[in-house]
Structure 1
Amino acid sequence: FKPFEAFQQLKNHALFKPLLEGGEILSAGARAIIEGGYQSLPKVEMPGAMLIGDSAGLVNVPKIKGTHQAMRSGMLAAEHIAETGKCAGWDAKLRASVVMKELRKVRNIRPGFNKGLWFGLANAGWETATAGLSPWTLKNHADHSALKKVSDYESPKRDWTERTLPPRDRLASVYFAATEHDEDQPVHLKVADTNVCITRCAEEYDNPCTRFCPAGVYEIVEDEAGKRLQINA
């Protein structure tokens, strides 16, 4: 499944296309958030570093708000360093704070939608009404556990229409997002074993990284030496 192509097909649907024809894209963008919440919070301290804000996954997912959590955790982290002079103990301090108290109240809302829309809506209403006082905590699943192998998936006939509205490709779409970074900055994306990308990943999963990244950062290229993973970052 190709999310970018599906969105372009929606724009070219007979219902929406007349509304967009003749228009001009001024800017575009989307955001990805860490939505694991309370159940997926990692250990937020390590030798020489402390995690705060979005890097720790402190977003209030139902509200799609995290700025206040970033500020709260940052202030608490500063207090912790001023009081102790070390990173040790930060994990316990954060988990006992108002930051985690807010996440706990909404911990079951997002996982509820894994069981379907109607269950998710009913569950969200219950959790909101009770302020998260349910005696249970719904579990999250690892992202990779939801990935199907190519051999287990039969692609339906989609009948894609010919696209005429811009942008025609993902790189053009990234241009309209106006993202900024230094061209010579070190690549922060590391793949432990790129051989897996050409062998097992390609054979079993058809390289999903080439599709789930909206900016085309991960690309399988072929040259004289054969196929290899190229990271465009």
Structure 2
Amino acid sequence: MNALTVNSNASWQARVAHAFSRAAPRYDALASAQRQIGQRMWDSLPDNAYNILDMGCGTGYWTQQLAKRYSRAQITGLDLAPGMLTQARQRYGVDIHWQQGDAAALPFGAYAFDLVFSNLAVQWCRDLGAVMGELYRVLTPGGQAHITTLLPGTLEEIAVAWQRPEALLQPPNQASVERAMAKSGLTINQQTATVERFYYPDLQAVMASIKGVGAQLPRPNTCLTRADIAAAKARFEQLRQPEGLPVSYHCLTLQLEKSL
């Protein structure tokens, strides 16, 4: 990796951390889609675990749920955004260990966790191979990682409405994820690709749900006029369903294991 790549990744991480830190105070009120997606993998978690990492913990909702479910476990919540961790500490206290850090360079020793939980976080990591390698390193033999991440096609309706697909997150495709996992040495016990669709009453509600959880990074030198907004509303209205304006999340749910 050359210096230019390192600097580019550092800049990207700083932008992501800033966007999510800004979103932290209102994250939980607007994260209903993210929470419903996380619920999909809750029932697949193992019966017992003793050292657990919530990787990309945000404001700590799932971290706290893990602490309740595994009452005898040591729980760690890790996030790149300091603002998210501030909210987590305020809401859930110091019984949980809150750690700032990068999923591609986890600040923990080898064999530190027997369970890693990560809901809609790794799509923000540019080096997916490094993330999978770090998961392999920090898991104990027989340890599991339960992950949801996003695939291409996510927020496609917003791309249509604004006609600016380059402004949206461009996650890796499923084949790229599978290659990264295979290279890491992790075993895929289960993987499921689904499309989760959520509905909103109007464009304002749609954009609040996205911006409110930090999921759109600001584009420099962009100034939207009233005409731009009206045109976006008109294009989005063409997609309206009886339930409302649709927003699609193309999700990949993974259950991974480090072999004994």
TM bracket (short chain): under 0.3
Q: What TM-score do you get using the length of structure 2 for normalisation?
A: 0.24
Q: What TM-score do you get using the length of structure 1 for normalisation?
A: 0.26
Query: Higher relative contact order by CA 8 Å / sep ≥ 6: 1 or 2?
Result: 2
Give the structure with the larger strand fraction. 2
